[in-house]
Amino acid sequence: MQRRILTVVIAVIILAVIIFSGTSFYLDLLWFKELQAESVFWTQFLARWGLRLAAWLLMFSFIFVNLLITRRQVLSFPNLALRDQFIASGYMRLLTPRRLTVFFLIISAVLSWMFSGFAAGYWMELLRLVHAVPFNVSDPIFGADVSFYVFRLPFYRFIYAFLMLSLILPLILVGLIYLILNPPLQRGYSRLSLLPGPALSHIAALLAGIFALKAWDYRLQQLELVLSDRGIVFGAGYTDIFANLRVLVVLMILAAVIAVLFVANIFLRRPRLLLYGFLALVGVSLLGGALLPAAIQSFVVEPREFALEREYLQHNINFTRRAYGLDNFKTRNYPAREELAWEDLLENPGTINNVRLWDYRPLRDTLNELQAIRLYYRFHDVDIDRYTVDGQYRQVMLAARELDKERLARQAQTWVNLHLQYTHGYGLTMSPVNEVSPEGLPRYFIRDIPPTTVEGLSLEQPSIYFGELTDDYVIVKTNTPEFHYATAGNDNEFTEYDGEGGIPLNSFLRRLLFALKFGEYRIAVSGELTSESRVLFDRDISTRVRKLAPFLRYDNDPYLVIDEGRLFWIQDAYTTTDRYPYATPYGNYNYIRNSIKAVIDAYHGTVDYYIVDPDDPLAATYSRIFPDLFKPFEEMPSGLVQHLRYPEDLFNIQARVTTLYHVTDPSVFYAREDLWAIPNETYEDREQPMEPYYTILQLPGYAEPELVLILPFTPDKRNNMIAWMVARCDQPNYGQVELFLFPKERVVLGPKQVENRIDQSTEISSQFTLWSQAGSRVIRGNLLVLPINDSLLYVEPIFLRAEGGGLPELARVIVVFQETVVMEETLDQALVRIFGAREDLPPAGPEEEPPLLPEEPIGENLAGLIRRAQAVYDEALQRQREGDWAGYGSKIAELEQILEKLAQLVAED
């Protein structure tokens, strides 16, 4: 009875595994077909399971054959004492040739299935080996193309591990069989020495195979020296070449000799030869593998380290710069003049008119307060881009208004609401980076629900079914109307999805399978679903691209783009490897290229991969593997091409590598004489590493303003600025990176020094203190370093937020040039104060004019009261200087009233 119950339980478990595995397989296939990537699915599936089954069959065959070789020994049962026990217990009658063969078959199948499973994880290594594209760069030690290390060596390592496991498993099994069946131990003899000849020959053959494989392993270790991390830098050093390499050659020869001796011993029967060979291998491995390299490093290399390592330092410098793309950087000098006049500002309107005053973090909080419109909408991120608005090239900030279902009232979080009715986000906001309303709030090019846009911009399809917060499934085209947006009063606008995304629920079987997948029985039984209904799942863009192309790395900041009235997400993808010779790793890879851009339609959910760098061998290899997945860059719509950005993650990595590898002279590199660092800046009230920032600049030597990504450098452990790095984003110069070097003979103010000067300004510090006493929290935004006509201008926006929360408002702008530090309500006023008033039109943005879009009514708010307090405070100081003590007292009393209003406002917030 118990046996039957156990059989039923096992059968149910097996059936459940088959059902759930089959469900996942079928629905994933439908998902890939929806994205017109069925070939990608089958390529991955066949490669993974083909390799898995091939490895299983090979291991199974090898184990089974080795067990069959022992069958005669088992059936003869030479261990008489154990044989008598088997006869007494009745087990001996089970030892028939047929039953023993079946038993060996089962053992071989089970063990090989268990131990060969890891092979499936090497499916991409197999495909890359078959479709490899050469790098046309040879390593400096062995002369092998880099593609050997990137594509071939990883798969060779898999083959070695698989074959070694395939030899060790049968060795353990047949060794146990022979030792158990061997007669009892006799005085003066080992059990092994009493094994019959065929058994010894069998074991010797397996050991010969193991040592032959070990010889190959030593050869692979020789080649892997160019990936060594033991020396002064990454890659083979002097000790690796003149000690470790030679030791590995000796070990390879010894292992091969021992393999031959094992084969010869089948006929010679001289086990001492094997013992001597094995001891020699162990001795060389211990002495040569550890002591000799350590001795050479200590007594030969370290006394003359630079002289002996110079060649290998140069290899590391060259290959690291090539692996991270630093060898394509352009370098030029930047004088950082100490003179800058109003005329210089007028010559750079593209720069001054696009100074990014809004910081993305306060702006996101402000948008969530003013533009979320409803509680269940949320702005997850703010992206920076550029658009031509009213004929002007403008830098803007965009944020998608996505649906956050966790913010729905608990009573409203029903299955129908969560998966049938609330299906998508709606619209976005777009704000110019340099414009502020009188209340310290952003102005808009696009705002509200339904979207209101300025002339020249259109948004015809604002629905966001695929985004950064769409991490659940929804079912569209049901009998339940989809919530679109709320209108005036208590009315709502509804819609029905008319896109290309989703898998049709056109049969009960599909409904049942999706019910199993999501663990939701309502999908199978709900009367709200029809044969036209479609399921949209894996909708968040991060999951979507990683499921479609898991072999790529992805940037952490996908960004939203408007093209022809529709919304698209652009996701930067990277090709990486950790097998690039001599290149110093950053994290867990030592080669990276942003060769691929993925474009996701926010409404239809389609995903298109474009190869923007066809010269990248990794991207070319992936294109050979998946020819239907990747498209040439020329096929990307021109409206999307205009919005491509140099990715910030790649820029950060390259910047950190540049801090050391901008140096190409091995002597300077070795001495660390010119080590750079990423400077710190103050955000809010804490220090943090400075972030790269997008801005529109008219770069020195170029005629037109363009979107760039920029970051300054300082010398290591010093605060003055030594260089800045800029990546160009606009076509046809996209991807070009330049390093501007500052003079070393004088000090150029770095971000930390500028922050210190701001802190030392009595005018600014007293104002910060006044705001703090009034219950406001001062938020210091990103410090911007702007190159203008061979000089540098520093700009830092100041935001205010009530201590109890509320809207962050842009209250002041700080501008620093040389010794002058000023803070004013607008950038225009600050520039005029530094460089003197002119009759010319101020360059920093538009004149006072009505907002671009009608502003929301805002009463007397925090920013307005603070401005009044500042004005009254300034008047009080003026009366004090004039000796008008009555006027001074009057102004102080007025200031007290304003502070009381501020306190009330903070308390209300």
CA-to-CA distance for 784 and 794, rounded, in angstroms? 6
pLDDT digit string (tens) for 536-591? 999 999 999 999 999 999 999 999 999 999 999 999 999 999 999 999 999 899 99
Long-range CB pairs of 146-152, under 8 A, 24+ apart, other chains included: 146/580, 146/581, 146/617, 147/617, 148/223, 149/223, 149/226, 149/227, 149/579, 149/580, 149/581, 150/577, 150/579, 150/580, 150/591, 150/617, 150/618, 151/125, 151/621
The reported pLDDT for the residue numbered 888 is 64
pTM greater than 0.95 (yes/no): no
The reported pLDDT for the residue numbered 782 is 86
pLDDT at 188 over 50: no
* CA 851 vs CA 398, 438, 528, 846: distances in Å: 18, 9, 46, 10
Which is higher by pLDDT, 82 or 51? 51
For residues 734 and 728, the answer to whether their CB atoms sit within 8 Å is: yes
pLDDT classification of 708: cutoffs 50, 70, 90: very high
pLDDT at 13 over 90: no
pLDDT digit string (tens) for 372-414? 888 899 999 999 999 999 888 999 999 999 999 999 888 889 9
pLDDT digit string (tens) for 582-639? 999 998 999 999 999 999 999 999 999 999 999 999 999 999 999 999 999 999 999 9
> Environment class of residue 168 by beta-carbon count within 10 Å: exposed (0-12), middle (13-18) or buried (19+)?
middle
pLDDT mean across residues, the chain: 87
Instruction: Give the pLDDT mean for 18-27.
Output: 87
The reported pLDDT for the residue numbered 87 is 58
The reported pLDDT for the residue numbered 296 is 85
Which residue matches tokens 């290959």?
319
The reported pLDDT for the residue numbered 839 is 46
Which is higher by pLDDT, 878 or 580? 580
pLDDT at 193 over 80: no
The reported pLDDT for the residue numbered 773 is 78
pLDDT digit string (tens) for 856-876? 443 445 556 666 776 777 677
Sign of CA dihedral 510, 512, 513, 518: positive
**Percent of the chain scoring above 90 in pLDDT:** 59
The residues that bridge with 486 in the sheet, in sequence order, are: 492
pLDDT classification of 715: cutoffs 50, 70, 90: very high
> Environment class of residue 909 by beta-carbon count within 10 Å: exposed (0-12), middle (13-18) or buried (19+)?
middle
Instruction: Give the pLDDT mean for 159-167.
Output: 96
Nearest to 467 by CA among 564, 560, 598, 396: 560
Which is higher by pLDDT, 874 or 659? 659
The reported pLDDT for the residue numbered 34 is 94
The reported pLDDT for the residue numbered 880 is 61
Q: Tell me, what DSSP letter sits at residue 336?
A: -
pLDDT classification of 461: cutoffs 50, 70, 90: very high
Instruction: Give the pLDDT mean for 310-316.
Output: 96
pLDDT classification of 277: cutoffs 50, 70, 90: low
pLDDT at 846 over 60: no
Which positions ≥6 away from 471 have C-beta within 8 Å?
539, 540, 543
The reported pLDDT for the residue numbered 575 is 97
The reported pLDDT for the residue numbered 10 is 78
Which positions ≥6 away from 200 have C-beta within 8 Å?
266, 269
pLDDT at 135 over 90: yes
Q: Tell me, what DSSP letter sits at residue 448?
A: T
pLDDT at 744 over 70: yes
Q: Which of 177-191, 505-519, 769-783, 883-897 has the lowest mean pLDDT?
A: 177-191
CA-to-CA distance for 300 and 92, rounded, in angstroms? 68
Which residue matches tokens 């079928």?
26
